[in-house]
A and B are shown apart, each in its own frame.
Chain A
Amino acid sequence: MPVELRLYVAGNSPKCRLAMENLQQTCDTFLPGQYRIVVVDLLENPQLAADDQIVAVPTLVRKLPEPMRKIVGDLSDTERLLVGLQVRPGRPER
């Protein structure tokens, strides 16, 4: 089952760029070929912040598998990111 991820950003801020890079790298390392990332720019659609209950930016939401998880920040702490995604480091999911 692919991991469905949504990254909420606000424009092209340094924090958001960093989050995108970190996410890409982590996923490539630990979830190769098993993930899908959608980037949502709240500046383009502010209502989505309310709909998806996003207060902080950047916020990564793991929509699938359930339960939904929210990971806030620039995702620079890979270990915490993996905890948040419930992916154990060193044991990439099959």
Chain B
Amino acid sequence: MTDTLMAALEVAPGPSLPKAPTGITGLDDITSGGLPRGRTTLVAGGAGSGKSMFAVEFLVRGARDFDEPGVLITFEETADKVTANVTSLGFDLDALVRQGKLVVQGFAIDPTEIVETGAFDLDGLLIFLAAAVERVNARRVVLDTIEVLLGMFADDGSIRGEIARLFRWLEAHGITAIVTGERGERQITRHGIEEYVSDCVILLDHRVEQDVSTRRLRIVKYRGSAHGTDEYPFLITGGGFVVQPLSAAGLAYSASTERMSTGVAQLDHMLGGGVYRGSTVLMSGSAGTGKTSLVAKLTDAACARGEQVLYVLYEESPDQLIRNMRSIGIDLQRWADAGRLHFYAARPSAYGLENHLAGLTRLLDEGKPDVVVLDALTSFAAVASAHEVGALITRMVAAVKSRGVTAVLTSLTQPESELSATGVSSLVDTWLLLRNVESNGERNRLLSVNKSRGTKHSNQVREFLLTDDGPTLIDAYLGPEGMFVGSARIQRQTEDRQEQQRRSSEVDSRQRDLDRRASEVQVQIAALEETLAETDAEMKRLAADADRRSSDESAGRGVMRRHRWVDAIPPDGGQR
């Protein structure tokens, strides 16, 4: 009984839904493998959202990379135009057609030249499609945009029935299909094509916010499969679609143990020998805290070591930067001239966020720099929401990191607010905090290491000076009354020195006193010793005198005895 119950409960996991990989960068990650195989997927989006490009790339990659030939039927443009459109993505449709892997056919239908009289079906299309599928042994079909048919016929009922029949035919033949649809206002598509597609619906969006365009992709529905539900930014690049899932930004970075100098010896010391190569360094601080100077110094040091540096400027021009840095003794021009330093200036508002990312990726791949500087990331805040900026920065950092390039980011504000919220701070390996402190009528710069992964780092705040020879760090004055910087530090140090001098002179004089006392005592000791020696000599002399006298006396006594006639033996009892 129990056994059968157990057996009944032990349901084998259902076969996972078979998927047809799209080959589109990033998309297969968020769909866990691709589009539902043998089913129809609806890709909906507004004009210019890239839905046709998406569908064509699915076909091209299928035919080219997965040995799944395809048929493309376009109702909006001619075959020639489609072919021309996707050439910019690096796809050669003509070649695939010649190789018998692809059929491209346009059905340009002008509703104004059509008159309806009575019943009809879509056999014209279906017969062509069936023949084309058979001809190239197609496994994939794209109908772009089949909705055109819905708007074309007055007899809405019969055209809907016919489209449903077309979808059934595709499914019956095990074809993985994409149909595209124009975005509707109250429903996913204008003509409600989604009612025929029950397996997978993908929405593409092309928004312009604050004058910046961003493309996004969202999987609205994917029956029987796990899928990412976020809106994923995507790019239409020279190599096709690139969907950029945050999660798939990849954490498989190789971690170098090699240290790289920041160009400021004291800072290297604070960080336990510099930053790790390939790590990401964030320098944050408010205006005028010296972020750019510190970055310029690092750039200077890297170029001096013969490394390639890509310096991306979002706020100022290269000339401006070079001029400003010259004032603190950093000559960046020579590195630019030597071909080691490459500037790339781009106003955040110049184009869409995804293009900034694409541009950076391209520069990374073309220039293969050792170090990348992004100055200042927070400039994007002016053109997009904090969330979007956070997502962009995450992707930028991921793009740099995944290539093993050392990244130096500057951030204008304290990043606690916007950056950490979107997970940027977790991507950052070393976080240097620059601050201005105002006291005694002056502003002084302070630097501290907020975090530095995998490194023993100093917890001490240092004073950060911009000298004629570039940035320098000095230990801030730490005394019993707290920390002092700037002239207060100098004053304290002076006071300290004076105090020390005072103390040391006191000690000196006491020392001298004691020395004098000691030598006096020495003199006294010498005098006493002399006296002692004299006394000794005197005593010896006296003793010698006494000896002589006693021997004289005894001799005298014998003479007297004899003289007084004293017995030779003295009388007993001593009674004298």
Contact = CB atoms under 8 A, between A and B. Distances in A.
Interface string B109-122: 10001111111111
A84 B149 contact: no
A20 interface: no
A55 B149 contact: yes
Contacts of A19: 118
Contact of A72 (B108, B117, B132): B117
A46 B117 contact: no
A50 B105 contact: yes
Contacts of B149: 55
Interface in A22-50: 22, 42-43, 46-47, 49-50
Interface string B94-118: 0000000000010111000111111
B76 to A, nearest CB: 13
B153 interface: yes
A83 B128 contact: no
Contacts of A80: 115-117
A67 to B, nearest CB: 7
B169 to A, nearest CB: 14
Contacts of A77: 117-118
Contact of B118 (A8, A49, A75, A83): A75
Contact of B119 (A54, A73, A84): A73
Contact of A70 (B115, B118, B132, B162): B115
Majority SS at the chain B contact face = mixed
Contact of B128 (A47, A67, A72): A47
B116 A72 contact: yes
Max chain B C-beta neighbours (<10 A), residue from A13, A22, A75, A78: A75
Given A55-B107, A57-B122, A49 B114 contact: no
A46 B162 CA distance: 18
Interface string B135-157: 00000000000000100010000
26 contacts: A10-B121, A15-B120, A46-B128, A46-B132, A47-B128, A47-B131, A53-B109, A55-B122, A56-B124, A57-B123, A57-B127, A58-B120, A59-B120, A69-B113, A69-B115, A71-B115, A71-B117, A72-B153, A73-B116, A73-B117, A73-B118, A73-B120, A74-B119, A74-B120, A80-B117, A81-B115
